[in-house]
């Protein structure tokens, strides 16, 4: 993914190239903490400085730019003077810059309890080249990541996503943890609609699922006239639970939630399979993007685990361990949506086909979505979305307020592989229209109020009976069910079209024969002919 420099290289890649050039001989695992910690510090400083400037302009009306409560009321961190980016930038070339950054981190933790124990504070260590640290600060000074416009575009998330994938590559790891693209998170959230209740992500990464869930509720609360209280309402209506095994990523998750004033107290650090930190949790909504196809998950030590209700997952691939862990943690009316590698829909290796068959026969599989390729920065493995529901009878939804139709014995298949334009040479994104099309299809099929009538669309969606899924050997690949896309009728009768195309073919064949003869004559003139 590193690519060569030039106009074709994306914004994130250019930043990476600059940052990587400053790494020198430092180990990538060490440099990750240095780089990502500074980016976060810049993020909260940008947000603070923007509000600080606004308060300075309002001083005549009684606003106090140095009152921490002015910032906390808007879920913006209070940044003490010693931690403000302009102060650090001015000192970037001093030999004491490492200690100044550590002091900045300590000051932020002191004044913002939500960040206690989360920020890296080892910039003063002798092994860290202070000249390179100063150059890195100069480089990051030119990136806007925390002002309102950048927050709306999730600039920090995109940069983090790219940097994490590059660090994983530099550390020689494959596929590990990565930030889930915003459009994929948004699709999961729009389909599941987690309005209220317990929301769980067993491999939460940088907490994108939780952030997007709160943003979803906030947007709908505004639409329902809750206005400025929408953010508080969103936070009050859902409680979040998560776990992340990678310590650096866990810290990022806590930071990401703290920025938005979301309680991160139930975001645990540890291995979800070996040390489930929420063993008794039964969640109303589960959203997840587990790492694909991981082989070193310790399955051989968990052969008799109570979570494997539908079959023991193979020790060489954790995909169906994740699926069963998710089912285990669903409340009686709970629903789940998660990303998996495409192989999960059809694999019959090592008992995976049997587990998938058992899940289908237990009537847990509600919907399958095939995603377009090139959505993820850090893996080219094609992916799909699984949606599971504990109770698919006509009843109340998770959270309590509306009713769905009886969907027992049916599975909705959506083939979205043709959606999503390329945003650069290697990266694709689902548009808001794409997301709405997929989500609305699911809502109509579930029988939601005001969602309209569901209808199969050849080449895009199909509501299949369980018997049809059985005939396909319990394979869940949407392309097997949705059929071919309907071709537009151009109005030309078939016989006339065949006559026209046949005549065109004969003309082209005659032209080809003339060209062959001319080439043969030319070759003969040159002495190469027979």
Return the higher-pLDDT residue of 2 and 487.
487
- 75-87: per-residue pLDDT in tens? 789 999 999 999 9
Residue 482, pLDDT > 80, answer: yes
CA dist., res. 83 & res. 304, Å (int): 51
Q: Please state whether beta strands 238-244 and 267-269 pair in parallel, antiparallel, or not at all (unpaired).
A: parallel
Mean pLDDT of 19-33: 78
Could you please report the per-residue DSSP string of 384-414? EEEEEES--SS-BPTTSS-B----TTEEEEE
Taking 80 as the threshold, does the pLDDT of residue 373 lie above it? yes
Identity of the highest mean pLDDT range in 1-15, 373-387, 389-403, 464-478: 464-478
Euclidean distance between CA atoms 352 and 358, whole angstroms: 10
pLDDT at 175: 37
112-116, 275-279, 418-422, 455-459: segment of lowest average pLDDT: 112-116
pLDDT digits (tens, 9 = 90+) for 298-315: 988 999 999 999 999 999
Q: Beta partners for 341?
A: 383
At 495 the pLDDT is 82
Residue of 347 and 156 predicted with greater confidence: 347
* pLDDT for position 398: 53
Rounded (5°) CA angle 59-62-66:
65
Measure the CA–CA gap between 397 and 39, rounded to whole angstroms: 40
CA angle 435, 440, 441 (to 5 degrees): 105
The fold of the 11-170 domain, in CATH, is Ferritin (1.20.1260)
pLDDT tens, residue by residue, 161-207: 677 667 766 654 443 454 677 788 899 999 999 888 999 999 988 78
pLDDT recorded at residue 168: 61
Confidence check: pLDDT of 61 > 60 = yes
Q: What percent of the chain has pLDDT over 90?
A: 48
What is d(CA 510, CA 375) in angstroms, rounded to the nearest whole number?
46
Residue 31: what pLDDT? 81
> What is the pairing mode between strands 238-244 and 461-465?
unpaired
Q: What are phi and psi of 219, to 5 degrees?
A: -65, -40
What is the per-residue pLDDT for 96?
96
**What is the pLDDT, as a whole number, of residue 13?**
80
* E-assigned strand segments in 390-479: 410-415, 461-465
Q: Where are the domains of the chain?
A: 11-170, 182-482
Distance CA 438, CA 356 (A): 23
What distance in Å separates the CA atoms of residue 296 and residue 300, rounded to the nearest whole number? Answer: 10
pLDDT value at residue 221 = 60
| pLDDT of the residue at 486 | 66
Is domain 182-482 in CATH 3.40.50.1370, yes or no?
no
How far apart are alpha carbons 179 and 169 in whole angstroms? 14
Instruction: State yes or no: pLDDT of 233 exceeds 60.
Output: no
Q: Is the pLDDT of residue 477 over 90?
A: yes
């Amino acid at each position: 993914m590193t690519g060569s420099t030039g106009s074709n290289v994306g914004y994130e890649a250019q930043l990476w190239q600059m940052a990587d050039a400053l790494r020198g001989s430092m180990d990538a695992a060490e440099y990750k903490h240095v780089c990502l910690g500074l980016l976060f510090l810049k993020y909260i400083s940008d947000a603070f400085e923007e509000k600080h400037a606004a308060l300075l302009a309002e001083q005549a009306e009684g606003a106090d730019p140095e009152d921490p409560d002015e910032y906390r009321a808007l879920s913006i961190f209070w940044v003490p003077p010693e931690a403000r980016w302009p102060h650090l930038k001015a000192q970037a070339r001093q030999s004491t810059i490492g200690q100044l950054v550590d002091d900045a981190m300590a000051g932020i933790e002191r004044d913002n309890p939500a960040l206690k124990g989360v920020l890296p504070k080892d910039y003063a260590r002798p092994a860290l080249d202070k000249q390179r640290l100063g150059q890195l600060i100069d480089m990051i000074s030119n990136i806007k990541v925390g002002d309102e416009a950048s927050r709306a575009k999730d600039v920090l998330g995109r940069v983090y996503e790219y940097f994490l994938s590059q660090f994983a590559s530099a550390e020689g790891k494959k596929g590990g943890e990565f930030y889930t693209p915003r459009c994929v998170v948004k699709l999961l959230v729009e389909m599941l609609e987690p309005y209220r209740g317990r929301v769980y992500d067993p491999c939460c990464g940088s907490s994108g699922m939780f952030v997007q869930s709160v943003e979803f509720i906030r947007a709908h609360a505004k639409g329902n006239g809750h206005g400025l209280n929408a953010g508080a309402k969103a936070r009050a209506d859902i409680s979040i639970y998560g776990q992340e095994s990678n310590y650096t990523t866990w810290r990022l998750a806590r930071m990401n939630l703290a920025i938005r004033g979301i309680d991160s107290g139930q975001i645990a650090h540890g291995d979800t399979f070996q040390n489930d930190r929420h063993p008794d949790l039964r969640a109303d909504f589960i959203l997840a993007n587990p790492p694909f196809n991981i082989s070193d998950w310790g399955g051989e030590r968990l052969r008799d685990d109570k979570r494997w209700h539908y079959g023991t997952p193979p020790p060489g691939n954790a995909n169906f361990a994740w699926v069963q862990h998710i089912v285990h943690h669903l409340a009686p009316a709970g629903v789940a949506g998660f990303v998996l590698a495409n192989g999960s829909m059809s694999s019959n290796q090592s008992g995976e086909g049997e587990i998938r068959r058992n899940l289908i026969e237990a009537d847990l599989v509600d919907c399958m979505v095939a995603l377009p390729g090139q959505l993820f920065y850090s893996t080219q493995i094609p992916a799909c979305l699984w949606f599971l529901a504990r109770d698919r009878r006509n009843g109340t939804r998770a959270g309590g307020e509306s009713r769905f139709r009886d969907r027992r014995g049916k599975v909705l298949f959506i083939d979205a592989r043709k959606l999503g334009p390329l945003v650069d040479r290697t990266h694709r994104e689902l548009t808001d229209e794409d997301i709405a099309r997929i989500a609305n299809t699911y809502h109509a099929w579930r029988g939601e109020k005001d969602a309209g009538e569901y209808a199969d669309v050849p080449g895009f969606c199909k509501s299949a009976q369980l018997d049809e899924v059985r005939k396909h050997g319990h394979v869940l690949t949407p392309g097997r069910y949705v059929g071919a896309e309907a071709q537009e009728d151009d109005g030309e009768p078939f016989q006339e079209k065949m006559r026209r195309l046949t005549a065109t073919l004969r003309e082209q064949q005659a032209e080809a024969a003339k060209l062959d003869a001319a080439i043969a004559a030319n070759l003969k003139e040159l002495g190469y002919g027979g």
